[in-house]
């Protein structure tokens, strides 16, 4: 496949402990895919492998058609990431944080300011561009990170439990915004353990004990149950 | 501008910004060697006579003797400080940001290393400036000649910091680094006493000191400050830098090393 995210037969172990076991899935462009899994299911390991913080000896990952193992630079250039951990420099302004990231992605300075303005206003953050990140609340910090992840025009967006620690309003706004991004053609993989962030029209992957338990359209999978009840019934873990 | 240089400038620039934001760090980096120079050396000069050894051509005071060692001490502490901040970065997540850049990892780590070494060298010059105010001076051109030696020493100790940061899992373990790396490296070297003094008391300790790469950083800087060249020290420092660099790359290799233990 050419666009989107494609994972084939990915396994990984920490010593004797098998964290991922023959995981395969694909997310096409323009789709919002929720990766749901209880704690310890292997979500973090999968995210580390997708971002090449870890490399697996088996399996293959393609990001927008680029093989992450063979040409990591090209693949990573097409990937936008919002990590679970905050990764902003608190003492720098919003704009400085974005400029630092832009440099890491080799974006030239010419035209950079306009680009930063564009992603910030897309997330209603334009008027805060000169504020220090330390003075921002959690919701605005997350929005800054989302803006940053879009700065290099990625084709695949990976968000690792992006709403952890946010209040309800900020959560809803980020969830809605990222769904919009998928509607505009971006391929989105969103990991979470919160079922209310998943819409019926979303793709759903359930990761359990290192294996993909279920994959398909969320609304069809849950049937008459609420997603939370369905999830608990198959994994035995509350969602 | 080339993409690699854009990243280099940003990473080094970020190190400088962080440095400026942490004034306490700069002050403590400056006060530490000054305490040694102005207090320790004053008390110690009577106890320790330094005879004429190369590169010195006359009798020198003990204060003068330990200046190069204290310069190297600044490089050592800064190297460890940068390793501490790398561990901090890893816990805080900004390391992830760095390592998921499309540029090769060795280049990203090298940029980081250059930035922290440049800051170390700046601190050394601030220290030398204050020492000069107390009339502890070197030949004028010595300050210029020492620059490449200081920078190389900074790279070596920064690379050591990288290696350690790939081994240390948590910030809490950092006290161990102080005890098992900084102190032995500093005291088992020619920073505070010439090695022949050490040989008088213990042949074994003397041999350890002579093998300690930190000794060679001190001697490289000492000779350069007096406009002399110490080839063996240079080769030692270059070789050790190369070894540490390889180990650091191994430690940061995504297929093994640090990330595998727990991201």
Per-residue HEC secondary structure of chain B comes to CCHHHHHHHHHHHHHHHHHHHCHHHHHHHHHHHHHHHHHHHHHHCCCCCCCCCCCCCCCCCHHHHHHHHHHHHHHHHHHHHHHHHHHHHHHHCHHHHHHCCCCCHHHHHHHHHHHHHHHHHHHHHHHHHHHHHCCCCCCHHHHHHHHHHHHHHHHHHHHHHHHHHHHCCCHHHHHHHHHHHHHHHHHCCCCCCCHHHHHHHCHHHHHHHHHCHHHHHHHHHHHHHCCCCCHHHHHHHHHHHHHHHHHHHHHCCCCCCHHHHCC
Check pLDDT > 90 for residue B185. yes
A73 to B102: CB separation less than 8 angstroms, yes or no = yes
Q: Which of A42-51, A229-238, B178-187 has the highest mean pLDDT?
A: A42-51
Check pLDDT > 60 for residue A1. no
Same structural domain for residues A148 and A160? Answer: no
Same structural domain for residues A9 and A111? Answer: no
Enter the ipTM: 0.84
A-B Cβ pairs (cutoff 8 Å, strict): 93
Task: For residue B63, give its domain range.
Answer: 3-261
pLDDT score at B260 = 55
Please state the rounded mean pLDDT for residues A182-197: 94
Task: For residue A65, give its domain range.
Answer: 1-78+155-239
Which residues of chain A have a CB within 8 Å of the CB of B102? 72-77, 105-106
Task: Name which of B4-8, B46-50, B160-164, B223-227 the model is least confident about.
Answer: B46-50
Closest Cα to residue A36, out of A174, A199, A190? Answer: A190
pLDDT score at B49 = 64
Please state the rounded mean pLDDT for residues B162-182: 78
Same structural domain for residues A94 and A194? Answer: no
A104 to B7: CB separation less than 8 angstroms, yes or no = yes
Show the tokens assigned to A213. Answer: 């338990």
Which residues of chain A have a CB within 8 Å of the CB of B262? 14
Task: Name which of A159-163, A211-215, B58-62 the model is least confident about.
Answer: B58-62
Same structural domain for residues A142 and A162? Answer: no
Residue A72 lies in a domain: yes
Same structural domain for residues A96 and A65? Answer: no
Check pLDDT > 90 for residue B3. no
pLDDT score at A200 = 94
Same structural domain for residues A160 and A237? Answer: yes
Which pLDDT tens digit goes with each residue over B17-38?
888 887 787 888 888 899 989 8
Instruction: Quote the mean pLDDT of chain B.
Output: 88
- Residue B60's pLDDT band, with cuts at 50, 70 and 90, is confident
Closest-CA residue of chain B to A101 = B97
Which residues of chain B have a CB within 8 Å of the CB of A75? 102
Q: Which one of A130, A153, A176 terminates a domain?
A: A153
**More confident position, B60 or B125:** B125
Task: Name which of A53-57, A165-169, A214-218, B90-94 the model is least confident about.
Answer: B90-94
Q: Which one of A123, A153, A183 terminates a domain?
A: A153
Which residues of chain B have a CB within 8 Å of the CB of A162? none
Check pLDDT > 80 for residue A176. yes
Same structural domain for residues A124 and A173? Answer: no
Show the tokens assigned to B25. Answer: 């760090």
Parallel/antiparallel/unpaired status of strands A58-63 and A5-14 = antiparallel
Instruction: Quote the mean pLDDT of chain A.
Output: 92
B260 touching A (Cβ < 8 Å): yes
B32 touching A (Cβ < 8 Å): no
Reported as half-sphere exposure (CB side, CA atoms, 13 A), residue B190 has a value of 25
pLDDT score at A237 = 73
Residue A220 lies in a domain: yes
Please state the rounded mean pLDDT for residues B94-107: 89
Please state the rounded mean pLDDT for residues B76-98: 82
Same structural domain for residues A67 and A177? Answer: yes
Q: What percent of chain A has pLDDT over 90?
A: 78
- Residue B216's pLDDT band, with cuts at 50, 70 and 90, is very high
pLDDT score at A235 = 85
**More confident position, B175 or B171:** B175
Residue A83 lies in a domain: no
Which residues of chain A have a CB within 8 Å of the CB of B92? 85-87
Which residues of chain A have a CB within 8 Å of the CB of B11? 103-104
Residue A113 lies in a domain: yes
pLDDT score at B48 = 67
Alpha-carbon distance of A195 to B227, in angstroms, equals 70
pLDDT score at B83 = 80
pLDDT score at B23 = 79
For chain A, what is the total number of helices (H) and then of strands (E)? Answer: 8, 10
Same structural domain for residues A147 and A115? Answer: yes
Check pLDDT > 90 for residue B179. no
B259 touching A (Cβ < 8 Å): yes
B254 to A54: CB separation less than 8 angstroms, yes or no = yes
pLDDT score at B181 = 87
Same structural domain for residues A67 and A162? Answer: yes
A89 touching B (Cβ < 8 Å): yes
A13 touching B (Cβ < 8 Å): no
> For chain B, how many structural domains are there in total?
1
Same structural domain for residues A15 and A26? Answer: yes
Same structural domain for residues A129 and A165? Answer: no
Alpha-carbon distance of B120 to B108, in angstroms, equals 19
> For chain A, how many structural domains are there in total?
2
pLDDT score at B257 = 46
């Amino acid at each position: 496949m050419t666009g989107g995210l494609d994972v084939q037969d990915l396994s990984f172990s920490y010593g004797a402990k098998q964290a991922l076991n023959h995981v395969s899935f694909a997310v096409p462009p323009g789709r919002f895919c929720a990766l749901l899994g209880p704690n310890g299911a292997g979500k973090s390991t999968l995210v580390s492998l997708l971002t090449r913080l870890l490399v697996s000896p088996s399996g293959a990952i393609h990001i927008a058609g680029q093989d992450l193992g063979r040409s990591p630079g090209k693949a990573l250039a097409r990937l936008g990431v919002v990590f679970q951990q905050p990764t902003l420099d608190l003492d720098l302004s919003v704009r400085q944080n974005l400029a630092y990231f832009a440099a890491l992605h080799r974006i030239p300075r010419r035209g950079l300011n306009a680009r930063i303005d564009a992603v910030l206003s897309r997330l209603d953050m334009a008027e805060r561009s000169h504020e220090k990140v330390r003075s921002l609340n959690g919701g605005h910090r997350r929005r800054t990170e989302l803006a940053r992840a879009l700065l290099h025009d990625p084709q695949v967006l990976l968000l690792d439990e992006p709403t952890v620690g946010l209040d309800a309003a900020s959560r809803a706004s980020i969830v809605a915004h990222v769904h919009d991004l998928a509607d505009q053609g971006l391929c989105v993989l969103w990991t979470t353990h919160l079922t209310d962030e998943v819409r019926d029209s979303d793709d759903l992957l359930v990761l359990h004990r290192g294996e993909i338990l279920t994959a398909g359209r969320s609304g069809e999978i849950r049937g008459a149950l609420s997603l939370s009840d369905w999830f608990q019934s198959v994994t035995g873990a509350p969602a | 501008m080339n993409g690699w240089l854009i990243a280099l400038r940003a990473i080094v620039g970020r190190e400088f910004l962080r440095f400026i934001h942490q004034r306490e760090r700069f002050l403590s980096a400056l006060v530490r060697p000054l305490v040694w120079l102005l207090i320790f050396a004053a008390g110690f000069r009577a106890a320790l006579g330094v005879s004429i050894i190369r590169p010195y051509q006359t009798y020198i005071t003990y204060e003068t003797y330990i200046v190069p060692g204290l310069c190297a001490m600044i490089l050592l502490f800064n190297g460890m400080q940068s390793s501490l901040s790398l561990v901090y970065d890893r816990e805080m997540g900004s390391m992830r940001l760095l390592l998921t850049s499309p540029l090769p990892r060795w280049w990203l780590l090298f940029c980081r290393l250059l930035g922290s070494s440049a800051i170390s060298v700046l601190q050394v010059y601030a220290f030398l400036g204050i020492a000069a105010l107390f009339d502890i001076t070197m030949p004028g051109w010595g300050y210029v000649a020492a620059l490449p030696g200081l920078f190389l020493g900074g790279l070596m100790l920064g690379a050591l910091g990288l290696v350690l940061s790939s081994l240390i899992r948590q910030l809490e373990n950092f006290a161990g680094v102080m005890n098992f790396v900084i102190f032995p490296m500093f005291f088992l070297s020619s920073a505070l006493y010439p090695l022949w003094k050490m040989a008088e008391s213990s042949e074994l300790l003397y041999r350890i000191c002579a093998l300690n790469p930190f000794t060679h950083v001190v001697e490289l800087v000492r000779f350069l400050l007096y406009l002399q060249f110490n080839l063996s020290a240079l080769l030692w420092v270059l070789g050790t830098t190369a070894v540490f660099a390889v180990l650091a790359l191994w430690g940061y290799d995504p297929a093994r090393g640090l990330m595998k233990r727990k991201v």
